[in-house]
A = this chain, B = another copy of it.
Amino acid sequence: MYSFKNDYSEGAHPRILDALIESNFEQIEGYGEDCYTQKAVELLKQRIGRNDIDIHLLSGGTQTNLIAISAFLRPHEAVISANTGHVLGHETGAIEATGHKIISIEVSDGKLNDSHIKIALDSHTDEHMVKPKLVYISNPTEIGSIYNKIELEQISRFCRENNLFLFMDGARLGSALCSEENDLELSDLGTMVDAFYIGGTKNGALMGEALVICNDLLKKDFRFHMKQKGALLAKGRLLGIQFLELFRDNLYFELAKHANKMAGLLRDELEKAGFRFLVNSPSNQIFPILPDRLINKLQNNYSFYVWSKVDADNSVVRLVTSWATKEDAVLAFIEDMKNP
Protein backbone atom coordinates (compact mmCIF):
# COMPACT_ATOMS: atom_id res chain seq x y z
CA MET A 1 0.00 0.00 0.00
CA TYR A 2 1.56 3.27 -1.07
CA SER A 3 0.19 6.55 0.20
CA PHE A 4 -0.70 9.62 -1.83
CA LYS A 5 -2.79 10.92 1.06
CA ASN A 6 -0.63 13.83 2.00
CA ASP A 7 2.83 15.34 2.04
CA TYR A 8 3.61 14.61 5.66
CA SER A 9 3.57 10.82 5.71
CA GLU A 10 7.32 10.47 6.03
CA GLY A 11 9.78 11.98 8.52
CA ALA A 12 12.35 14.53 7.40
CA HIS A 13 14.92 14.80 4.65
CA PRO A 14 18.04 12.94 5.81
CA ARG A 15 20.18 16.08 5.70
CA ILE A 16 17.94 17.57 8.37
CA LEU A 17 18.39 14.59 10.65
CA ASP A 18 22.14 14.73 10.06
CA ALA A 19 22.19 18.39 11.00
CA LEU A 20 20.32 17.64 14.21
CA ILE A 21 22.83 14.94 15.11
CA GLU A 22 25.83 17.08 14.33
CA SER A 23 24.74 19.94 16.57
CA ASN A 24 23.16 17.73 19.21
CA PHE A 25 25.51 18.22 22.13
CA GLU A 26 26.25 21.88 21.70
CA GLN A 27 24.92 23.90 24.61
CA ILE A 28 22.96 26.77 23.13
CA GLU A 29 20.32 29.28 24.12
CA GLY A 30 16.69 28.28 24.41
CA TYR A 31 13.45 29.70 23.02
CA GLY A 32 14.73 30.53 19.55
CA GLU A 33 17.56 32.75 20.67
CA ASP A 34 20.19 30.27 19.55
CA CYS A 35 22.79 30.74 16.84
CA TYR A 36 21.12 28.30 14.43
CA THR A 37 17.83 30.11 14.49
CA GLN A 38 19.62 33.41 14.04
CA LYS A 39 21.56 32.10 11.06
CA ALA A 40 18.42 30.65 9.53
CA VAL A 41 16.65 33.97 9.90
CA GLU A 42 19.56 35.83 8.29
CA LEU A 43 19.61 33.39 5.40
CA LEU A 44 15.88 33.79 4.82
CA LYS A 45 16.18 37.56 4.85
CA GLN A 46 18.82 37.30 2.13
CA ARG A 47 16.62 35.01 0.09
CA ILE A 48 13.69 37.37 0.41
CA GLY A 49 15.96 40.31 -0.30
CA ARG A 50 15.00 42.51 2.63
CA ASN A 51 16.70 43.21 5.90
CA ASP A 52 13.80 45.14 7.38
CA ILE A 53 11.56 42.14 7.88
CA ASP A 54 10.97 40.05 10.98
CA ILE A 55 11.05 36.27 10.82
CA HIS A 56 9.80 33.85 13.45
CA LEU A 57 9.91 30.07 13.38
CA LEU A 58 6.80 28.20 14.46
CA SER A 59 5.73 24.57 14.58
CA GLY A 60 2.73 24.20 12.29
CA GLY A 61 0.27 25.87 10.00
CA THR A 62 -2.72 26.20 12.31
CA GLN A 63 -0.44 27.51 15.05
CA THR A 64 1.06 30.08 12.71
CA ASN A 65 -2.31 31.19 11.36
CA LEU A 66 -3.88 31.65 14.75
CA ILE A 67 -0.96 33.47 16.33
CA ALA A 68 -0.33 35.77 13.40
CA ILE A 69 -3.96 36.66 12.84
CA SER A 70 -4.77 37.23 16.51
CA ALA A 71 -1.63 39.33 16.92
CA PHE A 72 -2.43 41.44 13.86
CA LEU A 73 -6.08 42.25 14.58
CA ARG A 74 -8.00 44.23 17.16
CA PRO A 75 -11.00 42.43 18.72
CA HIS A 76 -13.65 43.68 16.30
CA GLU A 77 -11.65 43.09 13.16
CA ALA A 78 -12.33 40.15 10.88
CA VAL A 79 -10.66 37.96 8.31
CA ILE A 80 -11.78 37.61 4.69
CA SER A 81 -11.15 34.19 3.21
CA ALA A 82 -12.15 32.13 0.22
CA ASN A 83 -14.68 29.47 1.24
CA THR A 84 -11.98 26.85 0.70
CA GLY A 85 -9.62 28.58 3.16
CA HIS A 86 -7.89 26.25 5.59
CA VAL A 87 -8.68 28.58 8.49
CA LEU A 88 -12.39 28.33 7.72
CA GLY A 89 -13.05 24.66 7.76
CA HIS A 90 -10.03 22.68 8.88
CA GLU A 91 -8.65 24.33 11.98
CA THR A 92 -11.42 23.61 14.52
CA GLY A 93 -12.35 27.25 14.76
CA ALA A 94 -8.83 28.26 15.81
CA ILE A 95 -9.26 31.82 14.56
CA GLU A 96 -12.69 32.24 16.12
CA ALA A 97 -11.26 30.86 19.35
CA THR A 98 -9.03 33.94 19.43
CA GLY A 99 -12.16 36.07 19.01
CA HIS A 100 -12.21 36.86 15.31
CA LYS A 101 -14.88 36.15 12.73
CA ILE A 102 -13.92 34.86 9.31
CA ILE A 103 -16.01 36.16 6.44
CA SER A 104 -16.33 33.43 3.85
CA ILE A 105 -16.47 34.31 0.15
CA GLU A 106 -17.58 31.70 -2.37
CA VAL A 107 -15.02 31.14 -5.11
CA SER A 108 -14.70 28.45 -7.75
CA ASP A 109 -10.98 27.78 -7.85
CA GLY A 110 -9.77 28.47 -4.34
CA LYS A 111 -8.48 31.92 -5.26
CA LEU A 112 -9.63 35.33 -4.05
CA ASN A 113 -9.52 38.42 -6.25
CA ASP A 114 -10.23 42.07 -5.58
CA SER A 115 -13.87 41.88 -6.54
CA HIS A 116 -14.38 39.08 -4.02
CA ILE A 117 -12.82 41.19 -1.33
CA LYS A 118 -14.96 44.13 -2.33
CA ILE A 119 -18.10 42.06 -1.70
CA ALA A 120 -17.01 41.63 1.91
CA LEU A 121 -16.20 45.31 2.32
CA ASP A 122 -19.46 46.46 0.79
CA SER A 123 -21.55 44.27 3.04
CA HIS A 124 -19.85 45.36 6.27
CA THR A 125 -20.70 48.97 6.71
CA ASP A 126 -21.11 49.91 10.34
CA GLU A 127 -20.45 49.01 13.95
CA HIS A 128 -23.22 46.41 14.04
CA MET A 129 -20.98 44.24 11.90
CA VAL A 130 -17.38 43.15 12.22
CA LYS A 131 -14.81 45.25 10.41
CA PRO A 132 -13.01 43.35 7.64
CA LYS A 133 -9.31 43.97 8.10
CA LEU A 134 -7.16 41.03 7.00
CA VAL A 135 -7.31 39.12 3.76
CA TYR A 136 -6.22 35.51 4.09
CA ILE A 137 -5.01 33.73 0.98
CA SER A 138 -3.10 30.49 0.53
CA ASN A 139 -0.52 29.84 -2.16
CA PRO A 140 -0.99 27.20 -3.37
CA THR A 141 -4.62 27.21 -2.34
CA GLU A 142 -6.16 24.29 -0.51
CA ILE A 143 -7.13 22.82 -3.86
CA GLY A 144 -3.73 23.21 -5.44
CA SER A 145 -4.26 26.28 -7.62
CA ILE A 146 -1.65 29.04 -7.49
CA TYR A 147 -1.58 32.83 -7.77
CA ASN A 148 0.42 34.45 -10.54
CA LYS A 149 2.17 37.78 -10.22
CA ILE A 150 -0.53 39.86 -11.85
CA GLU A 151 -3.21 38.34 -9.64
CA LEU A 152 -1.21 38.90 -6.51
CA GLU A 153 -0.34 42.47 -7.49
CA GLN A 154 -4.00 43.21 -8.00
CA ILE A 155 -4.98 41.89 -4.58
CA SER A 156 -2.04 43.62 -2.98
CA ARG A 157 -2.94 46.98 -4.50
CA PHE A 158 -6.59 46.61 -3.53
CA CYS A 159 -5.67 45.75 0.04
CA ARG A 160 -3.38 48.77 0.38
CA GLU A 161 -5.97 51.09 -1.10
CA ASN A 162 -8.52 49.78 1.36
CA ASN A 163 -6.34 49.63 4.43
CA LEU A 164 -6.46 45.84 4.65
CA PHE A 165 -3.65 43.53 5.69
CA LEU A 166 -2.75 40.80 3.20
CA PHE A 167 -1.64 37.51 4.76
CA MET A 168 -0.47 34.51 2.77
CA ASP A 169 -0.61 30.99 4.17
CA GLY A 170 2.40 29.30 2.64
CA ALA A 171 2.10 25.85 4.16
CA ARG A 172 3.00 24.53 0.70
CA LEU A 173 4.72 27.67 -0.59
CA GLY A 174 7.66 25.70 -1.97
CA SER A 175 5.34 23.85 -4.30
CA ALA A 176 3.76 27.09 -5.52
CA LEU A 177 7.05 28.83 -6.17
CA CYS A 178 8.43 25.79 -8.00
CA SER A 179 5.35 25.29 -10.14
CA GLU A 180 5.87 25.47 -13.87
CA GLU A 181 3.12 28.06 -14.03
CA ASN A 182 4.63 30.24 -11.31
CA ASP A 183 6.11 33.66 -12.02
CA LEU A 184 6.45 34.83 -8.40
CA GLU A 185 9.64 34.90 -6.38
CA LEU A 186 10.23 35.04 -2.65
CA SER A 187 11.29 38.65 -3.10
CA ASP A 188 7.91 39.49 -4.65
CA LEU A 189 6.17 38.23 -1.55
CA GLY A 190 8.38 40.46 0.57
CA THR A 191 6.97 43.50 -1.19
CA MET A 192 3.41 42.46 -2.00
CA VAL A 193 2.06 40.94 1.19
CA ASP A 194 2.10 42.14 4.79
CA ALA A 195 3.00 38.75 6.18
CA PHE A 196 3.41 35.23 4.84
CA TYR A 197 4.96 31.97 5.83
CA ILE A 198 7.30 29.48 4.27
CA GLY A 199 6.09 26.00 5.10
CA GLY A 200 8.59 23.40 6.20
CA THR A 201 6.37 20.64 7.58
CA LYS A 202 5.01 19.74 4.15
CA ASN A 203 8.33 20.14 2.39
CA GLY A 204 10.84 17.92 4.11
CA ALA A 205 11.08 19.21 7.68
CA LEU A 206 9.96 17.34 10.77
CA MET A 207 7.92 20.42 11.50
CA GLY A 208 8.29 24.15 11.08
CA GLU A 209 6.90 27.23 9.38
CA ALA A 210 8.89 30.43 8.93
CA LEU A 211 6.61 33.41 9.43
CA VAL A 212 7.79 36.53 7.60
CA ILE A 213 6.39 39.86 8.77
CA CYS A 214 6.97 42.58 6.20
CA ASN A 215 4.71 45.36 7.44
CA ASP A 216 6.24 47.35 10.30
CA LEU A 217 2.83 47.77 11.91
CA LEU A 218 2.63 44.06 12.55
CA LYS A 219 6.05 43.39 14.01
CA LYS A 220 5.92 44.71 17.53
CA ASP A 221 6.12 42.28 20.44
CA PHE A 222 5.45 39.27 18.27
CA ARG A 223 7.40 36.90 20.51
CA PHE A 224 4.98 37.73 23.34
CA HIS A 225 2.16 36.32 21.22
CA MET A 226 4.16 33.21 20.40
CA LYS A 227 4.86 32.54 24.05
CA GLN A 228 1.28 33.26 25.10
CA LYS A 229 -0.05 30.72 22.62
CA GLY A 230 2.44 28.02 23.60
CA ALA A 231 4.57 28.28 20.46
CA LEU A 232 7.99 29.25 21.83
CA LEU A 233 9.80 25.91 21.94
CA ALA A 234 12.34 25.57 24.74
CA LYS A 235 14.58 23.84 22.21
CA GLY A 236 14.00 26.36 19.48
CA ARG A 237 17.13 24.95 17.86
CA LEU A 238 14.91 22.22 16.48
CA LEU A 239 13.31 24.75 14.15
CA GLY A 240 16.42 26.82 13.49
CA ILE A 241 18.58 23.88 12.46
CA GLN A 242 15.93 22.62 10.06
CA PHE A 243 15.39 25.91 8.26
CA LEU A 244 19.13 26.50 8.13
CA GLU A 245 19.58 23.18 6.43
CA LEU A 246 16.69 23.73 4.02
CA PHE A 247 17.96 27.15 2.92
CA ARG A 248 21.73 26.69 3.26
CA ASP A 249 21.64 25.84 -0.42
CA ASN A 250 18.66 25.08 -2.63
CA LEU A 251 17.43 22.03 -0.74
CA TYR A 252 14.03 23.59 0.02
CA PHE A 253 13.31 24.27 -3.62
CA GLU A 254 14.75 20.99 -4.85
CA LEU A 255 12.41 19.11 -2.56
CA ALA A 256 9.45 21.12 -3.79
CA LYS A 257 10.46 20.57 -7.40
CA HIS A 258 10.57 16.85 -6.83
CA ALA A 259 7.09 16.88 -5.35
CA ASN A 260 5.80 18.92 -8.27
CA LYS A 261 7.51 16.67 -10.76
CA MET A 262 5.85 13.62 -9.26
CA ALA A 263 2.47 15.34 -9.34
CA GLY A 264 3.16 16.37 -12.93
CA LEU A 265 3.77 12.79 -13.95
CA LEU A 266 0.44 11.78 -12.49
CA ARG A 267 -1.36 14.76 -14.01
CA ASP A 268 0.02 14.21 -17.48
CA GLU A 269 -0.86 10.56 -17.59
CA LEU A 270 -4.32 11.10 -16.18
CA GLU A 271 -4.93 13.76 -18.81
CA LYS A 272 -3.69 11.48 -21.53
CA ALA A 273 -6.04 8.84 -20.23
CA GLY A 274 -8.85 11.31 -20.78
CA PHE A 275 -9.71 12.23 -17.22
CA ARG A 276 -10.79 15.72 -16.25
CA PHE A 277 -9.83 17.56 -13.07
CA LEU A 278 -11.72 19.52 -10.43
CA VAL A 279 -9.46 22.51 -10.94
CA ASN A 280 -6.19 23.45 -12.60
CA SER A 281 -3.69 22.69 -9.86
CA PRO A 282 -0.11 23.03 -11.05
CA SER A 283 1.35 22.16 -7.66
CA ASN A 284 1.82 18.99 -5.61
CA GLN A 285 -1.87 18.28 -5.17
CA ILE A 286 -4.07 17.14 -8.05
CA PHE A 287 -7.79 16.42 -8.08
CA PRO A 288 -8.68 14.12 -10.97
CA ILE A 289 -12.24 12.94 -11.54
CA LEU A 290 -12.24 9.17 -11.75
CA PRO A 291 -14.84 6.45 -12.13
CA ASP A 292 -15.75 4.98 -8.76
CA ARG A 293 -14.91 1.52 -10.07
CA LEU A 294 -11.41 2.61 -10.91
CA ILE A 295 -11.09 4.32 -7.55
CA ASN A 296 -12.04 1.13 -5.77
CA LYS A 297 -9.45 -0.86 -7.65
CA LEU A 298 -6.71 1.69 -7.03
CA GLN A 299 -7.51 1.69 -3.36
CA ASN A 300 -6.28 -1.86 -3.14
CA ASN A 301 -2.72 -0.66 -3.59
CA TYR A 302 -2.78 3.04 -2.89
CA SER A 303 -4.24 5.23 -0.20
CA PHE A 304 -5.61 8.69 -1.06
CA TYR A 305 -8.63 10.81 -0.20
CA VAL A 306 -11.89 10.62 -2.11
CA TRP A 307 -12.71 14.31 -2.17
CA SER A 308 -16.32 14.51 -3.34
CA LYS A 309 -18.91 12.80 -5.47
CA VAL A 310 -19.38 14.20 -8.96
CA ASP A 311 -22.23 12.02 -10.13
CA ALA A 312 -23.56 8.53 -9.58
CA ASP A 313 -20.48 6.87 -11.04
CA ASN A 314 -17.61 9.33 -10.64
CA SER A 315 -15.75 11.11 -7.86
CA VAL A 316 -13.00 13.59 -7.38
CA VAL A 317 -9.95 12.14 -5.64
CA ARG A 318 -7.01 14.02 -4.18
CA LEU A 319 -3.51 12.79 -4.95
CA VAL A 320 -0.69 14.44 -3.06
CA THR A 321 3.00 14.01 -3.75
CA SER A 322 5.91 15.15 -1.64
CA TRP A 323 9.68 15.52 -1.36
CA ALA A 324 9.68 11.82 -0.42
CA THR A 325 7.41 10.41 -3.10
CA LYS A 326 9.10 7.62 -4.98
CA GLU A 327 9.00 7.79 -8.76
CA ASP A 328 8.55 4.00 -8.86
CA ALA A 329 5.38 4.30 -6.87
CA VAL A 330 4.09 6.99 -9.20
CA LEU A 331 4.83 4.88 -12.24
CA ALA A 332 3.16 1.88 -10.66
CA PHE A 333 0.08 3.96 -9.91
CA ILE A 334 -0.03 5.15 -13.52
CA GLU A 335 0.27 1.61 -14.75
CA ASP A 336 -2.53 0.45 -12.45
CA MET A 337 -4.64 3.40 -13.49
CA LYS A 338 -4.24 2.52 -17.15
CA ASN A 339 -4.73 -1.20 -16.62
CA PRO A 340 -6.92 -1.51 -13.63
* Cβ B30 vs Cβ A10 within 8 A: no
| A58-88 interface code vs B (CB 8 A; 1 in, 0 out) | 0111111111001100111010000000000
* Cβ B224 vs Cβ A127 within 8 A: yes
* Cβ A25 vs Cβ B8 within 8 A: no
Within 8 A of B (CB), among A7-35: 8-12, 14, 17, 20-21, 23-31
Name the CB-closest residue of B to A3. Answer: B27
With A59-B233, A207-B238 as known contacts, state yes or no: A225 contacts B76, CB within 8 Å. Answer: yes
* Cβ A75 vs Cβ B91 within 8 A: no
Residues of B within 8 A of A272 (CB): none
Does A101 touch B at the CB level, under 8 Å?
yes
Does A231 touch B at the CB level, under 8 Å?
yes
With A201-B234, A221-B131 as known contacts, state yes or no: A11 contacts B30, CB within 8 Å. Answer: no
Count of chain A residues with a beta carbon within 8 Å of a chain B beta carbon? 75
| A153-177 interface code vs B (CB 8 A; 1 in, 0 out) | 0000000000000000000000000
| A93-115 interface code vs B (CB 8 A; 1 in, 0 out) | 11011111100100000000000
Name the CB-closest residue of B to A23. Answer: B11
* Cβ B21 vs Cβ A9 within 8 A: no
* Cβ B93 vs Cβ A101 within 8 A: yes
Does A228 touch B at the CB level, under 8 Å?
yes
Copies per complex?
4
With A63-B230, A71-B75, A235-B206 as known contacts, state yes or no: A21 contacts B17, CB within 8 Å. Answer: yes
* Cβ A9 vs Cβ B28 within 8 A: yes
In whole angstroms, what is the CA distance A64 to B230 when docked?
A: 8
Does A237 touch B at the CB level, under 8 Å?
yes
**Nearest Cβ on chain B to A152's Cβ, whole angstroms:** 26
A interface SS class: loop
| A217-244 interface code vs B (CB 8 A; 1 in, 0 out) | 0000101111111111111011000000
Does A247 touch B at the CB level, under 8 Å?
no
CB-contact partner of A8 in B24, B30, B201, B228, under 8 A: B30
Within 8 A of B (CB), among A109-139: 127-131
* Cβ A234 vs Cβ B221 within 8 A: no
**Nearest Cβ on chain B to A199's Cβ, whole angstroms:** 10
* Cβ B91 vs Cβ A221 within 8 A: no
With A8-B30, A11-B24, A25-B324 as known contacts, state yes or no: A225 contacts B59, CB within 8 Å. Answer: no
* Cβ A76 vs Cβ B207 within 8 A: no
In whole angstroms, what is the CA distance A129 to B224 when docked?
A: 8
In whole angstroms, what is the CA distance A226 to B127 when docked?
A: 9
A-B contact pairs, 19 of them (CB 8 A): A8-B235, A10-B24, A12-B24, A17-B24, A20-B20, A20-B206, A59-B230, A67-B230, A75-B98, A76-B92, A76-B228, A89-B129, A90-B129, A92-B129, A97-B100, A97-B228, A104-B104, A127-B224, A207-B234
Residues of chain A whose beta carbon lies under 8 Å from any beta carbon of chain B: 2-3, 6, 8-12, 14, 17, 20-21, 23-31, 59-67, 70-71, 74-76, 78, 89-94, 96-101, 104, 127-131, 201-202, 206-207, 221, 223-235, 237-238, 324
